[in-house]
Structure formats: C-alpha cells, structure tokens
Structure 1
C-alpha cells in the first residue's frame, strides 16, 4: 500500500483503521462448526498394560516418572 518511508495522512490513517476494524469485526463473528468424529465402542483399543508401557517408553524412563524425587528439567 505504501512505500517503506512514506507516511499516511490523517485521513488515510483513519480510513486504514476503519478498514482494519471492519475486517476484524467480520472475522470475530465467524463460527466454524467442528466435525465430530465418533469412534464406535468396539473399535476402542484396550488400555495398555504396565509391561507394554515399559516396553514402549523404556524401563529407565518409566522408572524415572514413577520415582517422584524431584522436578525434571524443562530443557532436557
């Protein structure tokens, strides 16, 4: 719309503000209906056993989670 070093006049600035407000107001009133996916009960897998969890995450990770001896580092 404008070059990098150009400046808007007061009228142009007000027009730009009105256009921005109108666009934002139009977007605020948009409702997006989410698609609901229903999984049949017979297709829900059974809960994992403790042994299966250990196998998937590794025994060391499993043990560390269950020890509760301090906070884990966020950046590790």
Structure 2
C-alpha cells in the first residue's frame, strides 16, 4: 500500500538546509545600515520626582503603595 521513503543522505540534508536558509534570507529582505541613529543617553528623560509620581498615579495610590501594611489589589 504505502511506499517506503528513504531518508536523505547527510549531503542531501545539508544542501536542503542551505537552500532553505538562502530562501528565508531572500524573503526576509534584511538590511543593516551602519549610520542608523542610536538613542543617546542624554535623550533619555530624567527620573520622575516623588511629586510627579503622585500626580500621575494619584495621592491615594501612592500612599497605599508606600504603607506596605497588606496586600493591595492589582487593579486598584
């Protein structure tokens, strides 16, 4: 009923792998540019002050996090 298939030889397997890699590289269309801009450290904003954090998260949330007197809800 079913035909027995023979396994590839090592050489055939290596050739198949090279062809697959070449096809994948062609499809990926990868380009590397040497002159791409890199994020410089001076472009990273400074850390937030305690007052800025309170404004963003709310006074109550800020206070509850710093109390550490129990488990808080993740969604609060």
Larger radius of gyration: 2
Structure with larger RCO (C-alpha < 8 A, sep 6+)? 2
For the aligned pair, the TM-score class normalised by the smaller chain equals: 0.3 to 0.5
Q: With structure 2 as the length reference, what TM-score do the two structures score?
A: 0.46
